[in-house]
Chains A and B, each alone.
Chain A
Amino acid sequence: MAAPLTAREEVRQDTAHGGLYLRRLRRAQLGVSLLALVVFAGLLGALPLVILLVERLRDIEVLGVPATVGLVVVPPYVLLLALGWLYERRANGLDAAFRELLDDDEP
């Protein structure tokens, strides 16, 4: 009787189990990406409506610039960078967890 395959061999040989491991990783990665997308779309997508509907913003000035303009010039880029950085850490973390899963039952 053949020895049971290691997780690494399961993935390499495209067995049912190997496919399952990979599918789980892919779903987890997609989940993180979609979460980041939803946060981004929610925050940036709300910005035009907030600027349009919140009348009071027009009267507030920051350094001589109306808050409506200021909100468009700086915060979106900070949001992009912060989300990108958080996503990178999370995605690399998922990859590392997958690597550990396969390395665990190495002889």
Chain B
Amino acid sequence: MTFAIIAVSAVTAAAVGIGAWGVRVARTTSDLFVASRAVSPWWNAAAISGEYLSAASFLGIAGLEMKYGASALWLPIGFAGGYLALLLFVAAPLRRYGSYTIADFVEARLADPRLRVLAACVVLLIGGFYLVPQLKGAGLTLGEVTGAPYWVGVVVVAAIVALNVALGGMRGITYVQAFQYWVKVFAIALPAFVLVVHLGGLPGRAALLGRELPRAGPHELVVDVDHARTVIFPEAARYEAGGRPRRARGGERVRVPAGRLVLPAGAAVPVAEGIEAQRGEDWARPVADGGRASPLFVYSLLLATFLGTMGLPHILVRFYTNPDGPAARRTTVRVLGLLGLFYLFPGLYGALGRVLVPDLYVTGQTDLVVLRLPEAAWPGLGGELLAAVVAAGAFAAFMSTASGLLVSLAGTTSFDLWGALRRHGSTRPGPGRLAPFRIAAVLSMALPAGLALLTRELDISVLVSWAFALAASTFCPMLLLGIWWTRLTARATAVGMVAGALTATGAIVAALVAGSEANDTVLAQPAVFSVPIAFATMIVISLAGRPVRGVEVHMRALHAPEGLGLERPVSTRV
């Protein structure tokens, strides 16, 4: 595993190095933001994609696919589709308006400083929940690479990212994020190509696409069970656990002790609680009559990701680095291409993993499939080198997203909340120059890190879908109506955002309380009803009130093309 440690260190060092170089370049022009506005759409698009492709994309999609089946492949479609929604309704107008963050926009557009505080609170909620899975990914990856316990990885990466952001490194530097994008594409694509060629196509077709269950290979399968857990045997089997030979009937739930679990060659692999043992033909079905693959669940998931992307706190900030509206459009179209390129690959890992690393079904840790696959598919030096490449890509994934999120969270805490309390000046200070920003960076990392330690067994993607559902039910209606509808009022926005947030959160909490049964229902994926509720609330209350004064000026700032001498920046908080 030394290769993996070297690769991870190299990627991290390169990112920090490019960041240091970027800061120097920015300083010579004395203004970080102006400097980054000279960035071309290709750099910008790579940077946006680099910041966006997180642990959920790099590890989570393949893990979910292995666990639940091909229905997980709708998730990346929604992740990429979110940028179409951004392109169609938000990118160009918001860039013209000149808002740096969501909180800036909502206060300027609706002329109510209280909305800034409300928006800031929602940003913290969404960003915090989105940060947790990044740290979980870090704990998993570092554990795989070095053999360290889970908590060590979480704490180490949380500390590195917090320190880096607090000291001003990696502050959303465009070049670092663009570099990380290409690292990630390379790290997911190269091993995928090499492994498929090495294996000579898709192996174990019966388990993959036919009537078979995942089985132990031609040799006996040894699983390291980290702690005593309940597993379900899909078929009768002899096995060895705790050093003694045992037998299980088909469908029997068995408590296996920590230690070695040995399955004879060809035995159907038992699955952890919460996983259903699926035959290949069911597993390979993207849509089915019920459960997570039901059309309603799929539509709800697509809606949440399609509309939620624009509300993630670290996304809109990046669009500010475009010089004007048309550049924002051009950048977004390229993002669609770059994300599509990346998302062609994770599905392959989930499919190969189903056949080649079925032991992950026993422990339920299918999030590890991307990291484990290379060495399982190609024992020896080749697999070890590929594993190093994949580990470096995973590391780049959560480092870039976590850094982007933390910059947004710390900026929100120190400027929007702390600043609103102190009523200090109206200019946005550069991040990293103020003590409050540094303190906020450390605090904003401490809470998600604690949560990541407590939620080890939870899938990376559960928290991610919560964050998306929340963003889609709060910021998405606010942005869409604020940009395109003249009658939106401040009161309606506040009530609508609260209503959307409560509905989405309430449904997800209810699903968690109800347990694994509700996990496959639309309660766990509430966008399909929480988004309409938020929209309806905002529209109905707005119609009863009076529109913001001077709304035509806002509309002109949002929609008038550049180069006419019409621009009058409405938002001065930049």
When distances are taken between beta carbons in the complex, the residues of chain A under 8 Å from B83 are 80, 84
Knowing A48-B286, A102-B564, say if A91 contacts B329 (CB, 8 Å): yes
8 A Cβ contacts from A24-73 to B = 25-26, 29-30, 33, 36-37, 40, 44-45, 48-49, 51-52, 58, 64-66, 68-69, 71-73
Contact B284 A48 (CB under 8 A): no
When distances are taken between beta carbons in the complex, the residues of chain A under 8 Å from B289 are 52
Q: Kindly provide the distance from the CB of A85 to the nearest chain B CB, expressed in whole angstroms.
A: 6
Is B209 at the interface (CB under 8 A from chain A)?
yes
When distances are taken between beta carbons in the complex, the residues of chain B under 8 Å from A36 are 84, 88
8 A Cβ contacts from B446-485 to A = 484
Q: Output the nearest chain B residue to A94 by Cβ-Cβ distance.
A: B561
Candidates B88, B201, B298; contact of A48 at CB < 8 Å: B298
Contact B84 A80 (CB under 8 A): yes
Is B566 at the interface (CB under 8 A from chain A)?
yes
Contact B299 A83 (CB under 8 A): no
Candidates A12, A65, A81, A92; contact of B340 at CB < 8 Å: A81
Contact A73 B564 (CB under 8 A): no
Contact B565 A84 (CB under 8 A): no
Contact with A along B535-574 (1 / 0, CB 8 A): 0000000000000000011011001110111100000000
A96 to B85, CA, bound (A): 22
Is A88 at the interface (CB under 8 A from chain B)?
yes
Q: Kindly provide the distance from the CB of B89 to the nearest chain A CB, expressed in whole angstroms.
A: 6
A13 to B474, CA, bound (A): 34
A48 to B285, CA, bound (A): 10
Which of B69-77, B163-171, B388-396 contacts the other chain? B69-77
Candidates A11, A30, A48, A52; contact of B556 at CB < 8 Å: A11
Contact B295 A26 (CB under 8 A): no
Residue among B83, B89, B559, B563 having the largest count of chain A Cβ atoms under 10 Å: B559
8 A Cβ contacts from B74-107 to A = 74, 77, 80-81, 83-85, 87-89, 92
Is B336 at the interface (CB under 8 A from chain A)?
yes
A77 to B561, CA, bound (A): 29
Q: Output the nearest chain A residue to B556 by Cβ-Cβ distance.
A: A22
Q: Chain B: interface residue count, which band?
A: 35 or more
Contact B555 A26 (CB under 8 A): yes
When distances are taken between beta carbons in the complex, the residues of chain A under 8 Å from B561 are 25, 95-96, 98-99
Q: Output the nearest chain B residue to A28 by Cβ-Cβ distance.
A: B559
Q: Kindly provide the distance from the CB of A70 to the nearest chain B CB, expressed in whole angstroms.
A: 10
A51 to B288, CA, bound (A): 9
Is A104 at the interface (CB under 8 A from chain B)?
no
When distances are taken between beta carbons in the complex, the residues of chain A under 8 Å from B556 are 11, 14, 22
Knowing A11-B556, A33-B88, A48-B286, say if A77 contacts B70 (CB, 8 Å): no
Is B68 at the interface (CB under 8 A from chain A)?
no
Candidates B295, B329, B560; contact of A88 at CB < 8 Å: B329
Q: Kindly provide the distance from the CB of B339 to the nearest chain A CB, expressed in whole angstroms.
A: 8
A98 to B564, CA, bound (A): 10
Is A78 at the interface (CB under 8 A from chain B)?
yes
Q: Kindly provide the distance from the CB of A63 to the nearest chain B CB, expressed in whole angstroms.
A: 9
Contact B288 A88 (CB under 8 A): no
Candidates B84, B302, B566; contact of A84 at CB < 8 Å: B84
Contact A26 B559 (CB under 8 A): yes
A91 to B332, CA, bound (A): 13
User: Which A residues fall within an 8 A CB radius of B?
Assistant: 8, 11-12, 14, 19, 22-23, 25-26, 29-30, 33, 36-37, 40, 44-45, 48-49, 51-52, 58, 64-66, 68-69, 71-74, 76-78, 80-81, 83-85, 87-88, 91-92, 95-96, 98-99, 102
Q: Other than the known A26-B484, A84-B332, what 11 A-B pairs have Cβ atoms closer than 8 Å?
A: A14-B552, A14-B556, A33-B88, A51-B285, A52-B287, A58-B285, A68-B70, A74-B344, A80-B81, A84-B87, A92-B326
Rank and list the top 10 A-B pairs by shortest CB-CB distance, nearest first.
A77-B340, A95-B561, A33-B88, A84-B333, A52-B287, A76-B77, A84-B336, A48-B287, A72-B73, A51-B287
A-B contact pairs, 7 of them (CB 8 A): A12-B565, A14-B552, A25-B561, A33-B89, A65-B209, A77-B77, A81-B337
